Structure 1
């Protein structure tokens, strides 16, 4: 890899060791390593990608495997991203530094593979946590969201005759709605290349249904005379973003986001964005 400039993504040619085993790039918490891999060649052996997965290794492709990530590094990145707000670019910079502190630029650049696999890994874990790991059933609206375990929910933590109780305040649920303008999204050059792993299956509202709502819903109540609000809307409308923030509904007492309750903002906070939250999926 000598002479390779940082950030380049050269065509990788699989090398082989002296006995013919392929030498793959293994990305781990300890760094990116070039190691020989010996597959099982028995008559009843599984395909190569399944052999790797059973060993805790996630291949970046399924036709000609050249790079694999360990489950440990994918878990470590998700924790860093959630708790430390570490971006994928900076996390892989750490991996390169651990590989070679003197020459980190010589480490093969697998930033794009990290971003793609981490999203697949997060989705697979959500399927596992919510009981969809070993079934062909497709998750319905909000089925991958974490429900509040404390709030009253019929059929889950309420008695069968709760409707006959005179004190109905015991079974009342309360929600709060708010917006966040730091969760913006820059405009993409090729948005048609995006692959949506899940839409409406967790806390985000179904994408197709939401944009259909924006096309037909009136916004007569968006008459804000606040100068600070107008200044904010003017600033974010010129920021080169197609999503300027998110709005969400959460449990008022315990902070759990309601399933299918998060929506995108396009030009500031409008009544039309939160109107859809009043309806069930």
Structure 2
């Protein structure tokens, strides 16, 4: 029987040995191919190593929500706003508001399968889902009406209302449904976490259909008819994200809690990445449509 060297055995498994004699370390062909692409496209070298090319911080130092793909069009002072944005005409100041929309999806249920201890998430809290333990709450509500045998009855999240990006650390599991006051208060935590990444100079406007419809009933008629922010954003944008996530409901329903969070985070990341790469085309399309509609609805004069 022919002797097969360690080097040959590793190469057969598509592992490239670091040395030809008694190798102790190897790199997969996939990693080498990835490095090859980075070298050709980005002109980087192997010396530019680290977490996201940051050689001073380790993976363990990754902050909450730091791995999420963020919206580049939302206002960020010092990044994409003019120096005099704070003194702009009041009629145009709405352009520099950060609009957030809040909603839930009850197709994304999760059965009482496994536990956080047996199936922990590898990066829960680093991108979209909040890093919170809801095991006890899940058990408390597992046998209530419409949620028999479910650890969570749905998912709630925040998106930037104008561009439909899922916001970092804004996704939470619900135990008793959207209308339950206690469940909806879980959004205080992600909203507070999210504000850590928002410049305090910005005005944040949050919309939530159920809350808005209730509050509008108690507003004076004059305020209802002259609400200054109406028609300035697409309030239904968040629904398009649920249409994208709905098809994964069946496959994630019986996963362990950690695996489920990882899969949903991955789909949210993909949604944001597609939005990011197509943002230029989308904004141009919206601008052209707005100009055309403005011309149609432009007031000229009162006819006799």
Structure with more relative contact order (C-alpha pairs < 8 Å, separation 6 or more): 2
Larger fraction in helix: 2
- After TM superposition, the score normalised by the length of structure 2 is 0.44
- After TM superposition, the score normalised by the length of structure 1 is 0.47
